[in-house]
Chain A
Amino acid sequence: MASGAPVAARASATVPGMGARLEHVQARAMSRITGALYSAGYTPKTLAEAQRDTIWWLWARAQASANLRPLMRAWGIAWTSAGYAELVPIEVPRAGRGRVTVDVHTSAVSPGTERAQYLRLPNAQVGLLGRPGYSCAGIVRSAGPGGEDFKPGDQVAVTGAAHASLVTVPREAVYRVPAGVELDSAALVMLGIICGQGVRLARLEPGSPFCVVGAGLVGALALRLAAIEAVPQAAIGRSRRREPVARSGGARDFFTTEDDADAIAKIASPVVIDATGDPDAIHAATSAAAEGGRIVLLGSPRGVTDAFPVDVVRNKCLTIIGAHVDTLDIEAARTGVDTRRREGDSFLSALAKGSIDVSDLVGPAIDPREASLFYRRLARSDDLVGAHFDWTAMPPPMQTGRAHLLAPPNVTGRGMEAKWPIAPLQGRSAQSPLALKDPFSTAVGRLRLGLLGCGDIAVHNAAGAAVAPNVEVTACFDPNTSLAQDLAQRHSAVVAPSAEALVGRADVDAVLLAVPHHLHAPLAVLAAEAGKHVVVEKPPAHTLGSAVQMAQAAERAGVALSVSFPQRYEAAAMVAHQLVAAGAVGELTGSSIRLYLDKSPAYWLGGFSGRARSDWRGSKAQAGGGVLIMNASHYIDLLRHLVDVEVDTVSAQVGALDGDAEVEDAVAVTIRYRNGAVGSLLSSSAVRGSSESALEMWGRSGRLVLEPRPRVYSLGSVDGLRPSRWQTFGRLPLVDSRAVFLSRLASSLERGEQPEVSAADGLAAQAFIEAVYQSGETGEPVRPADLLAQAVSEAGHGVPVLSGSQ
């Protein structure tokens, strides 16, 4: 036993059973520590993050202390866990002795290597710090003693540095970029070294033929470097997708391993460069090689070769040469020659001279904030030849700053889970999607409202009109005169003697209907025919047919019809809309609405607030339905407003379980959207003790929860959001949503535009509701668009305004 062996190990080796007992004690201790951490609120994910942050914290301080240099804050990409990549804050020491600090402009992605690391493929090594990338280019920020040959402002390429906005590296890893060479191209320097070494080991004779297996970035680059001296006889790929890249590098022929086995066997090339990383590509390489030929293993095989062709290698007298970049160090140790620098300078020189062109290999520029999305795409597709992270795309607040050496490590694991919300990166600046602009700042015009129906909801609408700077209530009517007088008195309006009289008044521009649902259609037609715009409290009507009738009447009269869906204008909903529009969620893949209420019989059969008796809510004929049309309709419109994808079909179960009314009090709906997304709606007004709602949506880039506790998780590059982190909306201002709705309506009418909540929007919600009821009756999926088309057809008139919505 070596003297340096741990005491426990020595003890366990000498005392029988001691090893097992020690393991047991260790396991129990670990279990207790882990249990305590979980009790303290950690999860496996947050614990892993805390561990990682601690390692990085130590690493950064060790580097800074060793070089007596301060730390700077920057951003880097990390493998946060198996299959997850993320842009994370990092700390970088400023350049000390023999080191250079570089502001990175672009870092090259090595698709094969990084895809393998991301997918955790065999032989894909992930370093201790768990960060991808090894080749970049940028501008020197500072150089420590011994690195003064690099001056601030110099354009340089850097090897061995992970993807980050700022790197400090040994000067040996820094290469001066010749004038005229783009940084995007220079950022491929490490790949240039790798491929240059492979080409050198191939010992190509000038003018001699060679073949490259693999048409990815390494294959394409190796082909171009080899073609400076020799003749690219053929390139071999898995499919023809990358043939153009190989051809543009000069490959005379292009074959695929799937279809061209015979042709490959006839290549007979004296040199074959295997740049695939595919453990089975050795078969194509040995097949393509001439007798006595050399095969350079340039790509790192990601797995085990099941049947290495020993006979072929022997019978063809082949030489197989391992050409991993680390072998440069083996070679340097033996020869004393810095082959790495020689290859790097040679690559950059070839770029400067125009001997090779790699502009088509640098690939698309990726915003580093979208790293997670990018690696997901890369994992699914091997089409991508090259790509690079564009660090100049980071908004200024996310660029570098000073870090404190004495700052403690972040061991909270905060931010991975929603229960630890994090603050926005940079306050609520005007540019942030989280910023909520003054909803009345663009208000124009002056809309004079006549209220038809002065019950409880009319009180709320009138109050909203009073807050809106460009709306006023000028007249009221209700069959219950005391209700009309009450409202008129509150808002200095006049009481009209009848509905006809109200719609005929010159001081009324628009009529707001706040009446039982079955009265919406006749009163809307009355108002429209009197030339008044119509605003109807949701839902548009008690049936789809009535809603169509209203829309057609407005269309014929040339007036606007809008539906009051004020939840669109809640502060959180407006922020959510901005976030969705900015791409925080991406293409919709799912949605969920949950609404649990505990409505008493008084809601259905009595009054609402005691101002007047109203039992119409419990009547199917008058209300059109129960909790769905009465309560959940807000969410139906709100979700449609947010997702901007129409519903294709609904499948529903509908029930009236409490028996307080003839309308339903429970509904469960499965939604299929036209893009294939799937959603659900579950609502009941008979959930004892409940008044809670949930609305959320998710897409290819993220998830947005509007209720409860608005928050967002996005993989997209949305200014103001930190990608891959849950972020709450924080404290939002109180907004009178009905005031905003009416103010926006007034502005739209003043500008001669369609209302933001249009007749088409109302009809879409109504068609959805009707489809749910019909599916509940038949047990079959129902397409809302079919119902709407049928209703329009039965009404006998077209509804042109709807054409764009369905």
Chain B
Amino acid sequence: MIKTSSGAPGALILDHSDATVAFIDRDWIPAPADSHVPAIVFTEDGKALWDEAELTTIGDGLERQASALVAGVAMEAASVASGLERVEVQGEGALAGEIRRRLGPAGTSARADRASSLPMAVVDATGDPRMLVSATERLADGGTLVMAGEPLGRETEINLYKHVHVRGLRIVGIKRPGGTSPRSVEAYLPAPRAVRPQEPLPHAAWYRLER
């Protein structure tokens, strides 16, 4: 579907015959060339897909629809972390930004430096499994790790005893929206940067990839 380019480093390939437009979060783009990239894809026949999962969307405008879908995930993630002291959000993309926005001041805290102010929650919007282990190390005992990113099928090695069990951590998975019961979600995502296949990617929170 969407892949990182093997010929042009940092560029994307739209490898889907029916796709017209794809929306991609910056944090979803893996570094290796020729890797699968999760995306919200709109096809010529009006379907919306988040990877393989077909979605029912609400509202007009592809960008608004994609924003609503991302915001839906952000809302779920933020609701798990809201109310907890000291929340840290991992990620630089649109999803991470939307989560921070929804968490308000709590979600804007930088990485805590002192043990006494270790975060009680880390929301990971990257999906990178390596971040999972490092996030548990930063969390305060009894804290919560919210997994809202796209793991891309990647697995990770983890010592569950040391990183979760003995410290009483919670790991909460946030699913991407799917199925036929979408919710109308207010979204305040910035406008995506429009890019073409094989073009170098400029710095942005997320991208709109068109043929």
Contacts and interface: CB of A to CB of B under 8 A. Distances in A.
A322 B158 CA distance: 13
Given A297-B164, A308-B129, A313-B173, A327 B142 contact: yes
Interface stretch (A59-67, A173-181, A299-307): A299-307
Contacts of A300: 161, 165-166
Interface in B78-96: none
Interface string B146-171: 01110101111111111011111111
Contacts of B166: 300, 322, 324, 326-327
Given A310-B155, A323-B168, A324-B168, A318 B173 contact: yes
Given A310-B155, A314-B151, A123 B162 contact: yes
Contacts of A309: 155
Interface residues of B, number: 32
Q: Which of B154, B167, B171, B176 has the most CB of A within 10 A?
A: B171
- Looking at chain A's contact residues, the main secondary structure is mixed
B58 interface: no
Contacts of A323: 165, 168
B183 interface: no
B132 interface: yes
Contacts of A307: 155-157
Interface residues of A, number: 36
Nearest to A309: B155
Contact of A322 (B148, B156, B169): B169
A316 B176 CA distance: 10
Contact of B173 (A302, A305, A317, A321): A317
Given A308-B156, A322-B165, A334-B142, A314 B132 contact: no
B54 to A, nearest CB: 15
B172 interface: yes
A311 B149 CA distance: 10
Contacts of B176: 315
B174 interface: yes
Contact of B147 (A279, A310, A327): A310
A326 B162 CA distance: 12
A330 interface: yes
Nearest to B161: A123
A319 B170 contact: yes
Q: Which of A279, A310, A312, A320 has the most CB of B within 10 A?
A: A310
A330 B120 CA distance: 13
Contacts of B34: none
B157 to A, nearest CB: 6
Contact of A310 (B156, B167, B170): B156
Contacts of B155: 306-311
A213 B127 CA distance: 27
Contacts, number: 117
A315 B174 CA distance: 7
Contacts of B164: 297, 320, 322
A331 interface: yes
Contacts of A297: 160, 164-165
Nearest to B162: A123
A742 interface: no
Contacts of B148: 314
A226 to B, nearest CB: 18
A278 to B, nearest CB: 10
Contacts of A303: 159
Contacts of A122: 159, 161
B175 interface: yes
A654 interface: no
Interface in B115-159: 127, 129, 132, 141-142, 147-149, 151, 153-159
A305 to B, nearest CB: 5
Contacts of B175: 291, 314-317
B191 to A, nearest CB: 27
A313 B127 CA distance: 12
B170 A321 contact: yes
Contacts of A715: none
Interface in B28-80: none
Interface string B165-200: 111111111111000000000000000000000000
Contacts of B129: 308, 310
B144 to A, nearest CB: 9
A327 B160 contact: no
B200 to A, nearest CB: 30
A282 interface: yes
A322 to B, nearest CB: 4
A242 to B, nearest CB: 22
A350 to B, nearest CB: 24
Nearest to B158: A308
Interface of B: 127, 129, 132, 141-142, 147-149, 151, 153-162, 164-176
13 contacts: A305-B157, A306-B157, A308-B155, A308-B157, A310-B155, A314-B173, A315-B176, A318-B173, A322-B169, A323-B168, A326-B168, A327-B166, A330-B141
Interface of A: 122-123, 279, 282, 291, 297, 300-324, 326-327, 330-331, 334
The 3 closest A-B pairs by CB, nearest first: A327-B168, A307-B155, A314-B173
